[in-house]
Structure 1
Amino acid sequence: MIWHLIAAIFAGLGAAGIAMVLRMASGKRLPTWIIPVFGAMGMLGYQISVEYSWYEHKQQLLPESAQVVEVEHDAMFWRPWTYFFPMATAFSVIDEQSMAIQKQNGERRVEFLLYYFEKQVQDRVTTQTWLMNCTNREMLPLEADTRRPLLEHSRRLNEDAPIFQAVCQDA
């Protein structure tokens, strides 16, 4: 976080320096207020660039066995440009190496970890173990310690749901 602040300050100083050169090149015909405006635009441009590249940056850090199954885009009123170009604020990932496949009574069941990455002041990652019945497309979470199914949170997925496709693709 401190490095982003330092980078934003240097982006502002660089843009203000460009404004100073432009002002000098124009024989000081450009107004002096152009310097802080360029500085602010440089800082804002850097921050917008970092925020919009967050998803791609995090995606590059994932192992090859990880598959993104859902991306959440959001608009925020304090960032009015996000209403026109929504920003990725969270995404879910399934790691194929974490899958445990079981066949019981002619049904294929897959236990897997679902990682949820959230863009906040400090990025947050949460994990949840799930059990998917590929035959009837039911998915339910498992308790962390006992691995007991939490039946009250069961849900049925559509055949075209990205999570179902990623977990049961060769079922």
Structure 2
Amino acid sequence: MTDIRTAHTSELTAAELFAVRTLLNDAFEGDFTDEDWDHTVGGMHALVREDGELVAHGSLVQRRLLHGGRALRTGYVEGVAVRADRRRRGHASAVMDALERVLREGCYELGALGAADEAVPLYAGRGWKPWRGPSAVLTPTGIERTPEEDGSVFVLPVGTKLDLDGELVCDWRPGDAW
């Protein structure tokens, strides 16, 4: 039996958080850092279980993105992963269904995420749009371009008009900006 639950980080038990971290470590083959973990917590989580066992996860955390002279309240998708032996069964779509529901109902103006190449078909197929303009990060010393991220940032407008060819600037954080 498959069960899908959404919960804030504060509602998850230590055992659930450990299971999420283990899933992410395994799914990203050891390339999931402590900074990546920090980016994943503090918001809403979508957890998919089969027979009580965690098989998929994703989270939505609040960030501010600057675009067109405005700071947009953004729901940023992090930590989307499916256990290797459960892939291609709709679990990532179930995670995104839950997170997109929170995004649309949570007073956000925009959804955003940084997509790995293999995940682009999932997000594009759900209506997420690739950001065509330049990307940047607002660092403690000012705005710095992030050209290595150009083409991998996807957005889902939910409450504001966007110029997908304009500049998009994310708030600074340790580790990966996007």
Q: If the length of structure 2 is used for normalisation, what is the TM-score?
A: 0.29
Structure showing greater radius of gyration is 1
Structure with more relative contact order (C-alpha pairs < 8 Å, separation 6 or more): 2
Higher share of residues assigned strand:
2
